[in-house]
Amino acid sequence: MSEYLARYFNEKKMADAWVIIQDDFVNATLSTLYITLVSTLLAILIGLPLGILLVTGDAKGIRPLPRWLMSVLNWIINLLRSAPFIILIVLLMPFTRMLLGSAVGDAGVIVPLVIAAFPFVARLVEGSLRELNPNIIEMAQSSGANTWQTVFHVMLPECVPSLITAFTTAITTILGYTAMSGAVGGGGLGNLAIAQGQQRSNHAVLLSALVILVILVQVLQTFGTWLARKADKRLKNK
């Protein structure tokens, strides 16, 4: 133990760490938040409609789509979800370069992150919407709602609390993924922790970065849970 402390937390390491914390941590934290928020927003932008489609287009949904089309959609989602993120980053580099002109830096990590996260968001949305009482859908249909109206006047508003919970799960998961941004030269706390902590054996930096990541996840999760509870009108005594 003392050997470990002497090796990683000696006076020089601590001095180095303090410099790094002062110089880089604010930028790294902002970078992490930027990558996380933009990726989550884009993943929801693609994943939400896709999740709706998975439910409404189902054979028993309100607007069944051809079976082959649903099979293809499900297959693509499963395929993207089964690829490890670090492999996805590498595979998608040509695509990212085509899209943004460059495959490195913060923007370079956002593209693969969105590609990895939107199928996950679609599945979360699908799960939320399937939880909705089918009697409510029947009520909408019996009131003369068309597909569009059923989705926007009934399904989505009724699922707001569970969608908030789902998006909270998505954002915390995506925050974890940002640690791999270093692979393509992206910034962020995760990258800093790996670059300084692992590769230069500065565990003080690694642990400090970890503490901030933990705080970020806790704050996001607490906020999400609070928001979902606040939005839920089924809870009587608030």
- Least distance from C-beta 136 to another protein, angstroms? 6
What's CA 125's distance to the chain center, in Å?
A: 13
Question: By CB under 8 A, which span of 15-23, 91-99, 152-160, 193-201 interacts with another protein?
Answer: 152-160
Q: Does 83 bind another protein (CB under 8 A)?
A: no
Distance, CA of 17 to CA of 28 (rounded, Å): 14
Q: Decide if 174 contacts 39 (C-beta within 8 A).
A: yes
Check: CB of residue 16 under 8 Å from CB of residue 203: no
Contact residue for another protein among 80, 160, 207, 210 (CB under 8 A): 160
236 binds another protein, rule: CB under 8 A? yes
Comparing CB distances to another protein, the nearer of 2 and 133 is 133
Provide the residue type at 169 as one letter: T
CA–CA separation, 171 and 166 (whole Å): 9
Please check whether residue 52 is in contact with residue 73, taking contact to mean a CB–CB distance below 8 angstroms.
no
Q: Which residues 6+ apart lie within 8 Å of 88 measured at CB?
A: 80, 112, 115, 116
Query: What is the smallest separation between the CB atom of 226 and another protein, expressed in angstroms?
Result: 17
Q: How far apart are CA 24 and CA 235, in angstroms?
A: 44
Q: How far is the CB of 168 from another protein (least distance, A)?
A: 18
Identity of the residue, 24 or 158, whose beta carbon is nearer to another protein in the bound complex: 158
User: Between residues 52 and 145, which has the closer beta carbon with respect to another protein?
Assistant: 145
234 makes contact with another protein (CB under 8 A): yes
Which residues ranging from 121 to 150 are in contact with another protein (CB under 8 A)?
A: 133, 135-136, 138-139, 141-146, 149
If the CB atoms of residues 27 and 146 are measured against another protein, the closer one turns out to be 146
Give the binding range for another protein (CB under 8 A) out of 25-33, 43-51, 123-131, 228-236. 228-236
Report how far residue 89's alpha carbon sits from residue 70's, in angstroms, rounded to the nearest whole number. 27
Contact 154, 136 (CB under 8 A): yes
- 112, 161, 182, 197: residue in contact with another protein (rule CB under 8 A): 161
Q: How many residues bind another protein (CB under 8 A)?
A: 24
Measured in whole angstroms, the distance separating CA 98 from the mean position of its chain's CA atoms is: 23
- Cα of first residue to Cα of last residue in the chain, in angstroms, is 50
> Where on the chain is the footprint of another protein (CB under 8 A)?
133, 135-136, 138-139, 141-146, 149, 153-154, 157-158, 160-161, 231-236
